[in-house]
Structures are given as C-alpha cells and as structure tokens.
C-alpha cells in the first residue's frame, strides 16, 4: 500500500506536466482544428525562458539589488515566463498558422513540425549544445507521511498545476473570451458574424496554451533541473497523445488524460522492467482509443468548414 | 440609399458564382431576393457580410461608406449589419443565454445589451423559457428564433436573413415573420433571401429575382407576384 501511494505521488507529478502541455494542444485543436506540433518545443522554450528569468532574478538577488526570498523568485519566474512565452505562442500563430488557416490541414501540421525544428535549432545557435542548469530556487525537503516520502517540490508542482487548470476552467466558463473560445470550437466559420474578431481569439488560444506549457517547463526545471533543446519532443508527443485521448477541445478530458498517462507510465514501470514502460503504457492507450475513438469527452462531430 | 451593391462578382475557386449583381435598399425597407436553388442568393448575402471575398470591380456601399474595407466582424460590430446564415448555425454547445451574450461580444453598452436581450425575450417568450438550455437541443422553430434574436443583438441597422422559413411548420413560420415585421417597425432594415417566393413577396415591399448569378428582374412585390414569368418559375404556375 505504501508502495502504491509512493508511486501515486510520482504519477501525479508526471501527470501534471503532461496535463499542462496537453491543455495547450487540446485548446488549439478544439478551437482552430489544427495540431500545433510545435507545442512541445514551446514547452522547451518556456523552460529556457524560465531558466533565463530565474537566473537573472537570482543574480539580482545575490547582488543585493532585489531583496526577495527564493520562493518569491520562483513565483515571479513562473509569472514572467508565462507572460513572455505567451508571446512566443502568438508569434507562432501569426507567422506560422494564420497564413495557412484555410489551407489543407496537412500543410498546417507540417508547419508545426517545421516551427518545432526552428525553435530547437534556434536554441542551439543561441545557447550552444551544452545543457543548462535550472537554478535551485527551493531547497528540497522530504516529508515522511505514513511511510510515503513526499518532497516539497512534488507537492508544489501538483498544487500549482491544479491551480492553473482551475484558473483556465474558470476563464473558459465565465469570461466572454472563454465563451467565444467554446463557441469557436463548435463552429468557427460563423464566429465573425457575432462580431467576434477571429484573429483575436486564435491569438489568445495560442497565448494561453503557451503560457501553460511555460509553467510546465519551469515546474519540470524545478524537479529535473537539466534542460536541453530537445527536451520538448518526447513531452510534446506524449502530451499530444493525452490531448487526443481526452477528446477534441475538452479541457477536463486533456487534464484527466494527462494524469492518466502519468499514472499508466509510473504503474507500468512499477510492475514491469522499465525498458518496457513506454511499450506497455502506450499499448494500453491504443486499446483505450480503439474502444473510444473520440477520446473520453470528445463527441463525434461533422466539421463544417464553410458557411 | 442605405445599402447599394453594384457589379458584385464572386468566385468559388475558379467558378463564377455571381456575375455583377446589383441592387439597393433604403433605410427601413424590407427587400427580398428570390430565386431557385443555386441561383446565388446565399452567396450574395455572404459577400455583403464579408464572409466570402468579392472579386475586383465589385462595389458595396453602406450609408455612404465603402463596406468592402471592413472585415466580417467589423461589418457586424461597426456597421451594424447582422447575418442570419443558412441553417442558422447556432452554437449548440452554448446555452440560449450564452448565444445571445456572445452576439454582444463587441458591444460596450452593457445596459443597452441587457435591454436588448429582454426585448428578444419579449418578442420570443419561448426563448426565455429555454434560457439555460443548450441551443443544440432546441426545436427548429426555437432555433430560428434564437438565430434572429442573436442577429438582433449583434447588429440591427440591417439584418440579412437567409431562408428564415426553412424547415418551419406554417404556423411557426407566420410567428417568425410577424416578429420580423415588429423588428422592422422598430427600425431594422431587412434583406431577406427565400426559396419560398410567395411568402417572401408577401412579406417584403420590393424584390429582386436572381437567376444563375445575375439579377434578371426587379420590382415591387405586387408587380412580381403578378408577373407571368415569376408565376411560372417560382409561384407554381
């Protein structure tokens, strides 16, 4: 039982990463009917922006210019990096996807792949092939709760992630922009007839998805402080799986599927040799998809792409 | 003249759908465009609401301004021209109330919006009964009411209506057209497109007949109802 809870804690942490990234995938897919395959790399860019912001703030604090504690630096890093990374998302939408909005979906999909490669190699050129180390902002502390070892970082990661997910849910359900996003996911062609600027909502969707990916990147950096330019690829694919598994555009679906992915991976590794982890984990996902091809909360739909 | 359309030409891919359509509407009028399936009626409305591009040489003027310089959302929010599209196209995942609220997206006059929503409910009391219901679960008639209500809120200097009678039982159809008359009496200019020519000509003061992407006939509804060609082609003999 202790063993189970120990793994549960790890699963929650990995699920948080997957879910945060999956949300951006799912929102863009739901609202704009396109797969943003650059999203995993936006997670990477977010982590690096976080690295830059955190390093800068740490230096300022060390020099005495900024008298704030480390946890405050972390909070500021998350907020500033989410803000900055949202502009990366807006830029990607503007130059990569907007010109292709009425193009065949396959063209938009390869755009994502190309932008992803550009972000990876751009990072290589900018910072070199060396891995960078995310500054340590909180000292590790381990608590023993009935035999289960929980670190303060894991608790923080899960709480911040769930907090962001709740905030996103509130935004989408309660604001007029969120309402426009939900409407656009249903039928994006007629959105302008409501007086809603389609480009604004598209940019906003990318901005929010990218900000969440940045949060995931920083939280990842806190837990596993070594960053490299290709870190986004595997995360991107796994989050993409979670987004589809959750159902088109479903926030709850992407969240649950993200966590489910974390659980399956961790628990498969608990039972089987870890080399078999992904093979078995993703076979399970395949079976789930065969039973529910539209994912958990996706509805069969007929896309109306013309007025 | 409120809206003037000259030489409106539209291509779908390479196929010419409209061959220089021209018509105009005065403020406060109800005007209809009738024609067979595929004549270009819906295309004309879509071009006016900027949902599809008009080819070079087309000219659309609204209250003296060049309408073609506005993108679709600004045609609604700045010029006040709303468009009830073919098939209504409600947001089925949103409630009745949310559909109405969304139509007010670009409006800053909160109090006026509240009043307008109340007005929609007074015109269509059925909608108020269904206020919290997902619009996808409404009946055909209720959906048409909501589509018109949505247009009423988003912009009603001019309303473009694409086949409001479609799929409605006769009694409901009369309800809807009575409501439209009321809305018109309150100042909305209406451009209506209909396959049901008799209904459209009874409702509108003037009409245009569209055939293969061109206006072939125009005149008062009375004269069109009495025209032999119109009778033969659109009024069943």
What CATH number is attached to the domain comprising A159? 1.10.3470
Tell me how crowded residue A86 is: count the other CB atoms within 10 A of its CB. 23
CA-to-CA dists, residue A185 to A170, A211, A305, B114, B176, angstroms: 17, 20, 12, 26, 29
CA distance B131 to B164: 21
Q: Are A169 and A257 in contact (CB under 8 A)?
A: no
Q: What is the reported pLDDT for A8?
A: 92
Residue A66 confidence (pLDDT): 83
List, for residues B105-130, the tens digit of each pLDDT value: 999 999 999 999 999 999 999 999 99
Whether pLDDT at B212 is above 90: yes
B89/A190 Cβ within 8 A: yes
Q: What is the mean pLDDT of residues A209-228?
A: 96
Say how far apart CA A246 and CA A234 lie, in whole Å. Answer: 18
Q: What is the pLDDT of residue A34?
A: 87
Q: How far is B233 from chain A, CA to nearest CA, in Å?
A: 27
Which burial class, exposed, middle or buried, applies to B14 when counting CB atoms under 10 A from its CB (0-12, 13-18, 19+)?
exposed
User: Would the CB atoms of A186 and B73 count as touching at under 8 Å?
Assistant: no
pLDDT at A307 over 60: no
In this complex, do B82 and A197 lie within 8 Å of one another by their Cβ atoms? no
Q: Is the pLDDT of residue A300 over 80?
A: no
Taking the CA atoms of B222, B224, B228 and B232 in sequence, report the sign of the dihedral they define.
Answer: negative
Task: Please report the pLDDT score of residue A301 as a whole number.
Answer: 55
In this predicted structure, what is the pLDDT of residue B100?
97
B41 touches chain A (CB under 8 A): no
Measure in Å the smallest separation between the Cα of B106 and chain A Cα atoms.
Answer: 6
Q: How far is B81 from chain A (nearest CA, A)?
A: 9
Q: Between A and B, how many residue pairs show a Cβ–Cβ distance under 8 A?
A: 77
CB-facing half-sphere around the CA of A62: CA atoms within 13 A: 8
Q: State phi, psi for B115 to the nearest 5 degrees.
A: -65, -40
Q: How far is CA A267 from CA A67, A134, A284, in A?
A: 43, 28, 12
Residue of A nearest to B83 (CA): A193
Q: Under an 8 A CB cutoff, do A193 and B93 touch?
A: no
Interface of A with B in 171-230 (CB under 8 A): 176, 179-180, 182-183, 185-187, 189-198
State the ipTM, two decimals: 0.93
Cβ of B94 within 8 Å of Cβ of A186? The answer is yes
Mean pLDDT of B22-33: 96
**How crowded is residue B40: how many other Cβ atoms within 10 Å of its Cβ?**
26
Q: Mean of the pLDDT values across residues A70-90? A: 96
SS3 helix, strand, coil % of chain B, rounded to 5?
40, 25, 30
Interchain contact, B73 vs A179, CB within 8 Å: no
Span A161-186, mean pLDDT?
96
Q: Burial of B105 by CB count in 10 Å (0-12 exposed, 13-18 middle, 19+ buried)?
A: buried
Residue ranges of alpha helices (H) inside chain A are 2-32, 39-63, 70-91, 105-127, 152-174, 176-186, 198-223, 231-246, 251-271, 277-291
Measured between beta carbons, the chain A residues lying within 8 angstroms of B93 are 182-183, 185-186
Number of H helices, E strands in chain B: 10, 10
Higher per-residue confidence, B7 vs A248: B7
Return the percentage of chain B with pLDDT > 70, whole number: 100
Mean pLDDT of chain A: 92
Distance from CA of B50 to the nearest CA of A (A): 9
Model confidence pLDDT, tens digit, residues B37-95: 889 999 999 999 999 999 999 999 999 999 999 999 999 999 999 999 999 999 999 99
Contact B89 A183 (CB under 8 A): no
Residue of B nearest to A180 (CA): B102
Which residues does residue B63 pair with via DSSP β-bridges, in sequence order?
none
pLDDT at A101: 85
Q: Is A304 helix (H, G, I), strand (E, B) or coil?
A: coil
Q: What does the pLDDT average to over A248-252?
A: 87
Does residue A302 form part of some domain? no
CB A132 within 8 A of CB A221: no
Taking the Cβ of residue B51 and every Cβ of chain A, the question of whether any pair is shorter than 8 Å is answered with yes
Give residue A302's pLDDT: 47
Q: Give the span between the Cα atoms of A154 and A209, in whole angstroms.
A: 22
CA A62/CA A59 separation, integer angstroms:
5
Q: B37, B162 in Cβ contact below 8 A?
A: no
Q: How far apart are CA B192 and CA A96, in angstroms?
A: 39
Tokens representing residue B109 in the block: 């006059």
Specify the number of domains making up chain A: 1
pLDDT(A82) > 80: yes
Domains of chain B: 3-234 (3.40.50.300)
Of B51, B86, B155, the CB nearest to A195: B155
End-to-end CA distance of chain B: 34
Q: According to the model, what pLDDT value does residue B167 have?
A: 83
Contact yes or no for B183/B175 (Cβ under 8 A): no
B144 vs A: CB within 8 A: no
Helix (H) or strand (E) holding B194: strand B189-194
Residue B79: its chain A contacts at CB < 8 A?
none
Whether residue A304 has pLDDT greater than 70: no
* CB burial of residue A241 (10 Å; 0-12, 13-18, 19+): buried
The burial of A32, by beta-carbon neighbours within 10 Å (0-12 exposed, 13-18 middle, 19 or more buried), is given as buried
The answer as to whether A306 is a domain residue is no
Q: Is the pLDDT of residue A306 over 60?
A: no
pLDDT at B237: 64
Domain span at residue A255 reads 2-291
Domain-located, residue A300: no
């Amino acid at each position: 039982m202790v063993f189970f809870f120990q793994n549960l804690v790890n699963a929650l942490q990995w699920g948080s990463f997957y879910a945060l990234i999956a949300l951006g995938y799912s929102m863009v897919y739901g609202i704009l009917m396109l797969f943003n395959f650059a999203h995993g790399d936006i997670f990477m860019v977010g982590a690096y922006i976080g690295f830059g912001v955190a390093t800068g703030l740490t230096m300022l604090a060390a020099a005495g210019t900024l008298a704030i504690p480390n946890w405050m630096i972390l909070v500021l890093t998350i907020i500033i990096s989410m803000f900055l990374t949202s502009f990366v998302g807006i830029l990607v939408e503007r130059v990569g996807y907007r010109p292709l909005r009425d193009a065949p979906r396959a063209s938009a999909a390869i755009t994502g792949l190309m932008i992803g490669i550009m972000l990876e190699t751009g990072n290589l050129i900018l910072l070199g092939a060396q891995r960078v180390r995310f500054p340590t902002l909180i000292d590790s502390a381990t608590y023993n709760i009935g035999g289960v070892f929980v670190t303060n970082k894991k608790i923080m990661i899960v709480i911040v992630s769930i907090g962001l997910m709740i905030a996103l849910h509130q935004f989408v359900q309660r604001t007029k922009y969120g309402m426009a996003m939900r409407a656009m996911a249903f039928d994006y062609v007629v959105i302008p007839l409501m007086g809603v600027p389609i480009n604004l909502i598209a940019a906003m969707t990318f901005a929010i998805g990218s900000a969440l990916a940045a949060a995931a990147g920083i939280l990842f950096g806190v837990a596993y402080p070594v960053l490299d330019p290709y870190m986004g690829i595997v995360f991107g694919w796994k989050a993409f799986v979670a987004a589809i598994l959750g159902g088109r555009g479903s926030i709850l679906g992407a969240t649950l599927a993200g966590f489910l992915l974390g659980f399956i991976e961790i628990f498969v590794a608990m039972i089987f040799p870890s080399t078999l982890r992904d093979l078995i984990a993703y076979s399970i996902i395949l079976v789930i998809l065969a039973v529910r091809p539209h994912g958990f909360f996706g509805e069969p739909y007929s896309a109306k792409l013309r007025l | 003249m409120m809206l003037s359309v000259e030489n409106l030409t539209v291509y779908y891919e390479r196929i010419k759908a409209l061959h220089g359509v021209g018509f105009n509407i005065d403020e406060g009028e109800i005007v209809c465009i009738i024609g067979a399936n595929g004549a270009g009626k819906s295309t004309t409305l879509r071009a006016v609401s900027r949902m599809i591009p008009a080819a070079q040489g087309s000219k659309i003027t609204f209250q003296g301004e060049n309408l073609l310089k506005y993108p679709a959302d600004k045609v609604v929010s700045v010029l006040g021209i709303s468009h009830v599209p073919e098939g209504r196209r409600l947001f089925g995942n949103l409630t009745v109330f949310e559909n109405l609220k969304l139509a007010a997206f670009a409006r800053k006059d909160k109090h006026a919006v509240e009043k307008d929503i109340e007005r929609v409910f007074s015109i269509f009391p059925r909608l108020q009964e269904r206020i919290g219901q997902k619009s996808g679960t409404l009946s055909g008639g209720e959906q048409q009411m909501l589509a018109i209500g949505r247009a009423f809120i988003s912009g009603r200097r001019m309303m473009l209506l694409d086949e409001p009678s479609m799929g409605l039982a006769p009694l409901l159809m009369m309800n809807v057209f009575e409501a439209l008359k009321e809305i018109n009496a309150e100042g909305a200019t209406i451009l209506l497109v209909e396959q049901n020519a008799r209904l459209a000509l009874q409702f509108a003061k003037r009409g245009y007949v569209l055939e293969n992407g061109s206006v072939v006939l125009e005149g008062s509804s009375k004269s069109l109802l009495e025209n032999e060609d119109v009778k033969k082609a659109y009024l069943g003999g």
